[in-house]
Homo-oligomer: A and B are copies of this chain.
């Protein structure tokens, strides 16, 4: 059975003991309610490292005032069972009061990379992510930390932060895990009614259309976006929030696909906001 640690000091002591034994450490940061996507990250970490920590922390600082912090799904027992099965050593599960002082005053901000895509509708989100990821990396000082590519903008921002702050952790991005029909695994999929669940497949289907266009040699970002939008328009329950093609270094929209790009969408299905994406490099 995986050990559950709830305090920063115990977590540090455990990592210290592993380090003293010459063991390397992987971290999989999560907000819990784990699914196959998280499981793939944990299994990758278990394969790469002597020890794996899975943090389960619904981080309040990355939720806006009108977002789903309170309703975000939680099930620690189920999470611990999944983590145990996947072979990780520790679930780090601090309370918000353990992580944040009432008079906390430090912010970590990555300028520019959070302006587009999800940053437009979630203005404080990535600062909250940077803060909690900084803390988790400082507490567990892992050799490697594993992030899903589904949260692609998060992955790019965390990579930039780790580079700029000289954090000694290798950030490993892992492929999106999907349901059999193509829907990207997400804890928020549980919000969907059966009809919405059926409709949600339009995200991956529309991205497949966009990918077909770019893989056919088309280099106009607008042509790719148009193909995705056209497919999204076939689903009455889908309300697109954005359909964008951005440079992976700057996370700024491009007109022409000349270097590696991230093609990313956010779509509301009923009241549930879902995201999906793919990376494309014309030189690859």
Contact = CB atoms under 8 A, between A and B. Distances in A.
Interface of A: 8, 12, 19-20, 22, 99, 101, 103-113, 130-131, 134-135, 138-139, 141, 160-161, 163-168, 249
Contacts of A139: 166, 168
A249 B113 CA distance: 33
Given A105-B110, A139-B168, 10 more contacts: A104-B164, A106-B160, A106-B161, A107-B107, A107-B108, A107-B109, A109-B109, A131-B165, A139-B166, A141-B168
Nearest to A99: B166
Contacts of A164: 101, 104-106
Contacts of A104: 164
A148 to B, nearest CB: 22
User: Could you say how many copies of this chain the assembly holds?
Assistant: 2
A101 to B, nearest CB: 7
Given A20-B22, A22-B20, A141-B141, A165 B134 contact: yes
Contact of A101 (B8, B138, B163, B168): B163
A131 B165 CA distance: 7
Given A141-B168, A167-B138, A168-B139, A113 B105 contact: yes
A12 to B, nearest CB: 6
6 contacts: A105-B112, A107-B109, A108-B108, A131-B165, A134-B166, A139-B166
Contacts of A138: 165-168
B101 A106 contact: no
A5 to B, nearest CB: 14
A163 to B, nearest CB: 7
A26 B134 CA distance: 21
A8 B168 CA distance: 10
A160 B105 contact: yes
